[in-house]
Structure 1
Amino acid sequence: MSKFTAAFVLLLPLALAASPVSAWAVDDAPITVNVNMARVLRINSPASTVIVGNPGIADVTIQDPQTLVLTGKSFGQTNLIVLDGNGNPVADTLIDVVQLQAGTVTVYQGAARTSLACAPVCQPTIMLGDETSFTSTQVDSAAMIKSTAAQ
């Protein structure tokens, strides 16, 4: 490997991370974020206002004028519009909110669905779309553990 190639390979991730458009969609593809996860978006111009088409699907906050935090709230697709201080559009893109699949097992018992996080041992976890009595049981169990630990 030449010195130039080695330097390019080592510096490319740093350049991409520092790039103001590194988190934005490429070729008009939507920005993807997982449900219940956040993602940092960097923009070229200072943002004054952010508009999310459906705030039930995603939320965006301005961390600083050129850094936004995108949080996936529910499955689906919506749009994001970013305006500068003069009301001019800085960005207009689609957002896809998807379920994290890695390490997750979904179990179907008839129409009832439950989810397990398996990393490395399978434990019940709550996912959107799980059967409501399963979800309630998991929430109650977590609350009981939390209250016991607080004593």
Structure 2
Amino acid sequence: MSADFRISLALAASVIVLPASAWGEPVLRSAQEDVYLEDGLVRLTIDRAELLALERPAGTVILGSTAIANATLSDDRTLILTGRTTGSTNLIVLDADGAEIINTVLWVVERPELVTVHQGEQRQTFTCVRRCDPVLSVGDDAEFFSTTASQMGVRQGLTGGGAAGQ
């Protein structure tokens, strides 16, 4: 193994893990962990969807950057939030009269099972649970990213590519 070869867990070194009491009461729930809202902050994980129950019907949903996260209304009182890439953006939800229901910051962090492999200037990202498989991650080597995207597209075509029930 060469000296310039190193493996690092993509755990986002700047992430600070705090006990639930430090974040306040949970307002979002997932199978993985609680997501807390305090001081205008909601923590999301890349490629994980979270449900947010709104106190009254929503009329408008505004996201600062859809590159960081996605927000979709399931019904007028249920918002589905999905982390897309690490970073932060803001989310504003207004009712039909334009009154603010929520104004918060979405903070998107890496998935803990991601492993980043660095070799010189090249970087590749894998998801490692029972085995390691390549994943698409912004910043990976262009050839690795392109090959992985192509293989995912072919697989999606072979499996029908649609959501369950389509």
For normalisation by structure 2, the TM-score amounts to: 0.68
Give the deviation of 1:88 after TM superposition.
Answer: 0.5
Q: Tell me which residue corresponds to 1:53.
A: 64
Q: Tell me which residue corresponds to 2:101.
A: 90
| Residue identity opposite 2:151 in structure 1 | S
Q: Root-mean-square deviation (CA), in Å?
A: 2.4
Are 2:120 and 1:110 aligned? Answer: yes
| Residue identity opposite 2:91 in structure 1 | L
Name the structure with the higher strand share. 2
For 1:39 and 1:28, the matched residues in 2 are separated by: 19
Q: Tell me which residue corresponds to 1:135.
A: 145
For 1:36 and 1:115, the matched residues in 2 are separated by: 14
For normalisation by structure 1, the TM-score amounts to: 0.74
Instruction: State how 1:1-151 maps to structure 2 within 5 Å.
Output: 22-23=27-28, 25-28=36-39, 30-101=41-112, 103-145=113-155
Q: In structure 2, the residue corresponding to 1:140 is in which secondary structure?
A: helix
Check 1:133–1:47 CA distance in 2 against 1; reply closer, same or farther (3 A cut): same
CA contact (8 A) 1:83 1:90 kept: yes
Instruction: Compare CA radii of gyration and give the structure with the larger one.
Output: 1
Q: What whole-Å deviation, never above 9, does each CA across 1:27-77 have from its counterpart, x for those lacking one?
A: 315111122322111111111111111222222111111100112222211
Check 1:116–1:48 CA distance in 2 against 1; reply closer, same or farther (3 A cut): same
For 1:149 and 1:92, the matched residues in 2 are separated by: 39
CA contact (8 A) 2:40 2:103 kept: no
Q: Which runs of 5+ in 2 are unaligned?
A: 1-24, 29-34, 161-166
CA contact (8 A) 1:53 1:80 kept: yes
| Residue identity opposite 2:114 in structure 1 | T
CA contact (8 A) 1:57 1:74 kept: yes
For 2:42 and 2:118, the matched residues in 1 are separated by: 30
CA contact (8 A) 1:25 1:93 kept: no
**Greater relative contact order (Cα 8 A, min sep 6): structure 1 or 2?**
2
Name the structure with the higher helix share. 1
| Residue identity opposite 2:74 in structure 1 | Q
